[in-house]
Amino acid sequence: MDGGKRLGVRTSMNPASHPYTSEEMMTIAAARKFRNRAICFVGVGPPTAAACVARELHAPNITLVYESGTIGSKPTAVPLSIADPELAETAEFIVSVPEIFAYWLQGGRIDMGFLGTAQVDRFGNLNTTVIGDYQSPKVRLPGAGGAPHIAANAREIVVILRHNPKALVPRLDFLSTPRCEGPITLVTDMGILESEPATGELTLTSHFAGISVGEIREATGWPLVIAADLSETPPPSEQELSVLRCITSKRTQLGKTTLTSANHNRLAAA
Amino acid sequence: MFQVTTLREAIAEFVHDGDRVALEGFSHLVPFAAGHEIIRQRRRNLTLIRLSADIIYDQMIGMGCARKLIFSWAGNPGFGLLHRFRDAVENRWPRPLELEEHTHAALAVAFAAGAARLPFGILRGDPRNDLFKYTPAFAPMACLFTGEGVTAVRAIRPDVTVIHAQRADKHGNVQLWGIVGIQKEAVLAAERVIVTVEELCEQIEPVTNGMVIPSWVIHAIVQLSGGARPSYVDGYYGRNDESYREWDTVARDREQFLQWMEENVLECVPA
């Protein structure tokens, strides 16, 4: 929900040659899922940084699509939102919001959708609406946005989410986005889960270096199925890390060079 | 039928207590200054309509302007949750806020239907999420030709739509470009239309991806440079990310919020 802005919530892993955080590993693992030449719909939050890394590295011919209507954007810094100037200025073309949803998404033109969420269940259904009861929620979240139609119309979905039992839950507080009927991949800051074709259940197929299956089980709110061919996720290469850090630091600098809001609001009303 | 006027007069004449009001803009061209004037004129019982409700709606909700929100997403772009919106929904402060909650695709077809004076818009597939239980604007239906299951979404018809655009010519034709969101549909769905613009010019030159909204569907045009700050205007100024960051802190506390509104909105002289 809050983008990729918090760095390393878990301890650094595998510091053999170049230390990195689990957050960085998550973004890089998600970036690797962007297939070159695929048409990818990039959702709000964590997917934005992953999309930038993918385009800079293994997927230069990717087409990035955002719900603000920008198609073929080529961001070189992590945008703050899915309607940032960077995405508009670098787009191949821009369409209206009704058009992006009707013609491009619902029209079946999207290969992969990338989403963040607050909660996911074992079948890949998502909640971004409330924690608690809908009519008197404990925490009111932003809501469904474009996600239901991304999941319903993209051929496959990748969800990016920090791994903890409050996020990977046995039962959603609210069903905002029903699961994609195609393949679903869940990339967390501990490993990778993929939907098992026969049952649709999210199964652990890869764990990050330095994180045990036991730890991942403990952080999952349902009895986690482990794939027979479980592998260790290759750690980030130096190139992946340097690209990620470069595009992330560019955004931080952008935020610091602007005027304060008080000035801006006074100007607006002056 | 349009008039070039001041912001104060435009809001006073065209935005009334109890109106259904859409201030549209998808992170770009957000009509902040107009929202602030609605707050200053202390409009009440508004139904606010918006796809991506952001901090201008957080401010209007926190100041007690809204009775109801029709929306598909409500957040601070890049920074997460809207704390005044949360306080209204979770604690009913400063007053209860009724919700009519959509998805982006649903609200998009609802606006398009409103612009076309159709009773409803259509989405592919049956409604399957929990919103369907709470939002009376959705209904499952079968295609009359094929029997395919689709979702009907009731049309949206605002009493007044407010947008911000790059410029208007002396005849009142408005031009906008860049991320144009759902502004055209929101304008054409509405009974009354207010447009604030960065500049008034003799003649508007064609621009790539430019859209023209003709004078004869507009009621008031207000020249207001900076009228979208702290959001951005393609070709004029960039987005002030720091304001959005600051809002995440300011809006967390009721007192701090009220003080900020006093200093930055209520005490400001409108254009």
Q: What is the mean pLDDT of residues B62-86?
A: 97
User: In Å, how far is A233's CA from the nearest CA of chain B?
Assistant: 28
Give tens-digit pLDDT for B241-262: 999 999 999 999 999 999 999 9
Q: What is the mean pLDDT of residues B110-129?
A: 95
Cα(A24)–Cα(A10) distance, rounded to whole angstroms?
10
ipTM over 0.90: yes
Q: B residues 70-89 near A, CB within 8 Å?
A: 71-75, 77-82, 85-86, 89
Q: Which residues of B touch A254 (CB under 8 A)?
A: 241
**Residue A258, pLDDT score:** 35
**Residue A251, pLDDT score:** 67
Residue A100 sits in a domain whose CATH number is 3.40.1080.10
Quick check: is A17 in a domain?
no
Closest residue on chain A to B75 (Cα):
A142
Quick check: is A223 in a domain?
yes
| CATH 3.40.1080.10 domain extents, chain B | 3-103+158-266
Q: Tell me if chain A has a CB within 8 Å of the CB of B269.
A: yes
Given 2.170.150.20, 3.40.47.10, 3.40.1080.10, 3.40.50.1970, which CATH number is that of B3-103+158-266?
Answer: 3.40.1080.10
Domain count, chain A: 1
**Residue A16, pLDDT score:** 52
Q: Cβ of A146 and B238 within 8 Å? A: no
Other beta carbons within 10 angstroms of residue A213's beta carbon come to 14
Quick check: is A98 in a domain?
yes
Nearest to B153 by CA among A73, A101, A160: A101
Q: Which residues of A touch B26 (CB under 8 A)?
A: 68-69, 83, 97
Q: How confident is the model at residue B269 (pLDDT cuts 50, 70, 90)?
A: confident
Q: How confident is the model at residue B268 (pLDDT cuts 50, 70, 90)?
A: confident
Quick check: is A253 in a domain?
yes
Quick check: is A53 in a domain?
yes
3-state secondary structure of A241: helix
Quick check: is A9 in a domain?
no
Spans of chain A, pLDDT less than 50: 1-9, 11, 14-15, 254-270
Tell me: cis bond preceding A79? Omega within 30 of 0 counts.
Answer: no
Cα(A32)–Cα(A60) distance, rounded to whole angstroms?
12
A194 is catalytic: no
Residue with the larger pLDDT of the pair B67 and A252: B67
**Residue B208, pLDDT score:** 81
Are B48 and B88 in contact by the 8 Å Cβ rule? The answer is: no
C-alpha angle with apex B217: B215 to B219, nearest 5 degrees?
80
Give tens-digit pLDDT for B180-212: 999 999 999 999 999 999 999 999 999 988 999
Quick check: is A10 in a domain?
no
Cα(B191)–Cα(B98) distance, rounded to whole angstroms?
23
Are A23 and A35 in contact by the 8 Å Cβ rule? The answer is: no
**Residue B81, pLDDT score:** 96
Q: What share of chain B is helix, strand, coil (3-state, %, to 5)?
A: 30, 30, 40
Of A56, A67, A86, A156, the catalytic one is A67
Mutate to test the interface with B, among A70, A171, A265 (most CBs of B within 10 A): A265
Q: B residues 137-196 near A, CB within 8 Å?
A: 178-182, 184-185
The amino acid that residue A68 corresponds to is S
Cα(B78)–Cα(B88) distance, rounded to whole angstroms?
21
Count contacts between A and B (CB, < 8 Å).
215
**pLDDT > 90 fraction of chain B, expressed in percent and rounded:** 95
Quick check: is A90 in a domain?
yes
Domain coverage including residue A113:
22-269
**Residue A263, pLDDT score:** 31
Q: Cβ of A97 and B77 within 8 Å? A: no
